[in-house]
Amino acid sequence: MSNKPSIQVFRPTFRVEECLDEIRQCLEMGWSGMGFKTVELEKAWCEYTGLSHSHFLGSATAGLHLAIKILAKKHGWQEGDEVITSPLTFVSTNHAIMYERFSPVFADIDEHLCLDPESIESRITPRTKAVMFVGLGGNTGRLKEVQELCQRRGLSLILDAAHMAGTRLDGEHVGKQAEVSVFSFQAVKNLPTADSGMICFASEEDDQAVRKWTWLGINKDTFARTVVQGSYKWYYDVEEVGFKYHGNSIMASLGLVGLKYLDRDNAYRRQMATWYKELLSDREDVQFIPMGPGCETSQHLFQLLINNRDEVVSQLASNGIHPGVHYRDNTEYDMYAYGNGTCPNATKVSASTISLPLHMGLTRSDVETVAKTLSSILDMHCASQRAICA
């Protein structure tokens, strides 16, 4: 057997007995679908974040789609209208805009790897309706400036907060800055389930609307009809051609347990980031990503910028260390190639970003192993480059 470490970029930690206890309640009650634990989690998420509305979903991708759909209907957007968005994100962010036949317009990123307010401003046209801001890795970047810009220019602000469970801005949980914020509780996120998410609208009316859209357009949920009202009122109305996007009680059970540990877990993530920074601080060939002003990050990712990224990643892999890359510039994909060349910072970062392993199963000694191995690989590159130059 190889004695090399096997250190993955992500690995979720579940408090197994507590999760099983929550899930057992669902199984014993005979209620594993929407309602029961999903209602408990929505309430707990509102209490935890201070946000006024939360609706539990099957995924954040579903939430981003409905964020676009509901705001478009409310504000009267027309097919082909534009949403300014980030090229450095998971494709869900931009697919959500495409699902509703609007046009993603890419603006460039800044040193926080989030949308740059100046670049956003330069991309506004008469067809621009909204800005989709991605809190990459949990960083708030210059979100407050973007919020002010959206207010000034009459644009909706959607926050892709997939990485931001537990991120605080000026001491308060992030989310209030936007008309709608969407969090992911997918398997490797800070609050892991298997697949689920939460959509948080600022307005009561939008929150009511999203509850219909996530259940096929039906205007009442089954739990309310059977358990709350006591008799099965099957004579419901269907007001929209909605989707099957709501979350279920098994996922919510995992979320309820995870939420109790979220702050503690995120504090440990930030501790690991501090260790990485200390261990790599002497290197001139490693660039750290600064947090935005007022940001206490969820530290979903620990990203660096380095040269020869692809070679370094494969050399780390041959040493049993498996980092990630978040993300490829979306304009490198066929779907979004029309934006290629419009965001030079994103293109550069796409070629040089690496996410070091960061999860609750790692110890200080694992972090040291990763940092030491990375350092010696970078030293080798440095030496070979000097040899070429000489």
Ligand X SMILES: Cc1ncc(COP(=O)(O)O)c(C=O)c1O
The residues that touch ligand X, with contacts defined as CB under 6 A, are 59-61, 89-90, 92-93, 134, 160, 162-163, 184, 186, 197
> How far apart are the C-alpha atoms of 166 and 144, rounded to whole Å?
17
CB of 154 to ligand X, least distance (A): 25
Which amino acid would we find at residue 332?
Answer: E
CB of 20 to ligand X, least distance (A): 23
Beta bridge partners of 355: 303, 324
CB of 66 to ligand X, least distance (A): 12
> How far apart are the C-alpha atoms of 14 and 251, rounded to whole Å?
12
Nearer to ligand X, 181 or 308 (CB): 181
> 292 near 112, Cβ under 8 Å?
yes
CB of 102 to ligand X, least distance (A): 17
CB of 187 to ligand X, least distance (A): 8
CB of 58 to ligand X, least distance (A): 8
Nearer to ligand X, 200 or 286 (CB): 200
Nearer to ligand X, 95 or 176 (CB): 95
CB of 160 to ligand X, least distance (A): 5
Non-local (6+) Cβ contacts of 196 within 8 A are 56, 57, 58, 59, 185, 186, 247, 251, 252, 255
CB of 63 to ligand X, least distance (A): 8
Nearer to ligand X, 84 or 134 (CB): 134
CA distances from 74 to 129, 206, 210, 224, 361 (A): 12, 9, 12, 26, 44
299 φ/ψ sector (left φ>0, alpha ψ -120 to 50, else beta) = left
CB of 376 to ligand X, least distance (A): 31
Nearer to ligand X, 95 or 220 (CB): 95
Nearer to ligand X, 140 or 184 (CB): 184
Torsion (CA) 381, 384, 389, 390 in degrees, nearest 10: 150
Closest CA to 162 of 192, 125, 134, 140: 134
- In the block, which residue shows the tokens 């910028």? 305
